[in-house]
């Protein structure tokens, strides 16, 4: 979700920017260059999904799909989401370039966390994979809303009510993200299972 320019304090901007640079560097280092096309597609999917948004004070509510992006890309979610947010800022003035580090960290950070929590579970039998996929999508959205709320609170305590509103407004989005992620994983397991994380290693084991 996008935080507008001119809202976040300089210390939060600098700290988030540094963490985003570090995360993107790790993502590029770990990136399997045979999967560049997949990264580009997922970056485009994120770009399109988050275009339709509803403003809420200094932030907004919209789909992100960072759960499925993180699940399929791991650390590469950082550069993929960074590119998507940068293009949105340049072409549509969503968020902004000065706030790019904060917005990227808030979306890509939960994506990577959910990768480590759920990427092995989605390789198991159908029921476990469906539950894990739903939880991945919902939790990624929840963590993003919490990180947006913390970004606002660390900037100014008076943003507390807005922060609570951001989290509350994303409850329906969390459910929708969960269903979308579960559907995407189920579809990929049937038609292109090698796109899932560590699929070949799991088969060999």
The confidence score (pLDDT) of residue 201 equals: 39
The 10 Å CB-count burial string (b at 16+, else e) for 47-76 is bebbeebeebbbbbbbbbbbbbbbbbbbbb
The confidence band for 109, taking pLDDT boundaries of 50, 70 and 90, is: very high
Q: Tokens in use for 186? A: 């189920």
- pLDDT confidence band for 137 (50 / 70 / 90): very high
Q: What is the mean pLDDT of residues 52-61?
A: 63
| pLDDT at site 204 | 33
The 10s digit of each residue's pLDDT in 138-184 is 999 999 989 988 888 888 777 777 778 778 877 888 899 999 999 99
Overall average pLDDT of the 34-53 stretch: 85
Average pLDDT, the chain: 85
Given a cut of 70, whether residue 1 has pLDDT beyond it is: no
What predicted TM-score, i.e. pTM, was given to this entire model? 0.85
Domain 10-200: state its class.
mainly alpha
Instruction: List pLDDT tens digits, range 9-31.
Output: 899 999 999 999 999 999 999 88
Q: In this predicted structure, what is the pLDDT of residue 25?
A: 96
Asked whether the beta carbons of 134 and 122 are under 8 A apart, the reply is no
Print burial letters for 190-201: b (CB count within 10 Å at least 16), e (below 16): eeeeeebbebee
């Amino acid at each position: 979700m996008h935080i507008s320019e001119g809202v976040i304090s300089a210390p939060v901007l600098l700290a988030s920017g540094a963490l985003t640079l570090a995360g993107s560097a790790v993502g590029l280092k770990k990136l399997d260059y045979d999967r560049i096309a997949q990264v580009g597609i997922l970056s485009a999917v994120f770009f399109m999904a988050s275009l339709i948004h509803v403003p809420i004070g200094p932030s907004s509510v919209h789909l992100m799909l960072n759960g499925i992006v993180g699940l399929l890309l791991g650390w590469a979610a950082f550069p993929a989401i960074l590119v998507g947010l940068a293009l949105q800022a340049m072409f549509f003035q969503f968020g902004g370039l000065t706030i790019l580090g904060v917005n990227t960290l808030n979306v890509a950070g939960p994506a990577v966390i959910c990768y480590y929590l759920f990427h092995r579970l989605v390789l198991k039998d159908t029921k476990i994979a469906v539950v894990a996929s739903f939880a991945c999508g919902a939790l990624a959205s929840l963590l993003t809303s919490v990180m947006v709320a913390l970004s606002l609170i660390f900037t100014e305590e008076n943003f507390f009510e807005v922060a609570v509103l951001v989290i509350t407004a994303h409850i329906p989005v969390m459910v929708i993200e969960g269903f979308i992620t579960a559907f995407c994983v189920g579809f990929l397991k049937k038609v292109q299972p090698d796109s899932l994380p560590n699929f070949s290693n799991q088969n060999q084991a």
